[in-house]
Structure 1
Amino acid sequence: MTDTTITTLQVDGMTCEHCVASVTEELSEVDGVDSVEVDLNPGGASTVSVQADATVGHDRLRAAVEEAGYRLSAR
């Protein structure tokens, strides 16, 4: 059994439920991701919590967010 972790990401540029769906879809396609929850903050950084195998690296999550057309907050 693989250990799971919850990673919290701050994502810029999300403004609506379509944005939430796009980011959720891309993150969910990463091997090892079990669930994705988004707290939408239009006009600011939205909080995205990803539950995944401990082996899923931050770089893979960032790449999925970028594939959806968004970027991680520098904050």
Structure 2
Amino acid sequence: MTTTLQIPDMTCQHCVATITKLIQQADQSAQIQIDLSQHKVTVDGKLDAPALITLLDEAGYTPSEL
């Protein structure tokens, strides 16, 4: 399943690395595309939007589904 999230507080390469690591720890086979300038993350994997939002929210980010 493919999910696109808006993460307004993803502002730097450290955020990108952290978010990528969190998602890959939860789903090693996930394909992740990140557009830092647009603050968008697209994930093609086994986690649905609510699971991804919870995962990133617990890490201190404020994602919402697009």
TM-score tier after normalising by the smaller chain length: 0.7 to 0.9
Q: TM-score, normalised by structure 1?
A: 0.70
Q: Looking at secondary structure, tell me which structure has more strand per residue.
A: 1
Displacement of 1:28 after TM fit? 1.4
* Runs of 4+ deviating beyond 4 Å: none
Q: Looking at secondary structure, tell me which structure has more helix per residue.
A: 2
Larger RCO, structures 1/2 (Cα 8 Å, 6+ apart): 2
Q: 1:74 to 1:51 in 2, by over 3 A?
A: closer
Identity %: 35
Corresponding residue of 1:46 = 39
Bigger radius of gyration among the two? 1
CA RMSD in angstroms, aligned pairs only: 2.2
Q: TM-score, normalised by structure 2?
A: 0.78
What is the CA–CA distance in structure 2 between the aligned matches of 1:39 and 1:18, rounded to whole Å?
A: 13
Displacement of 1:31 after TM fit? 3.5
Corresponding residue of 1:68 = 59
Q: 1:33 to 1:70 in 2, by over 3 A?
A: farther
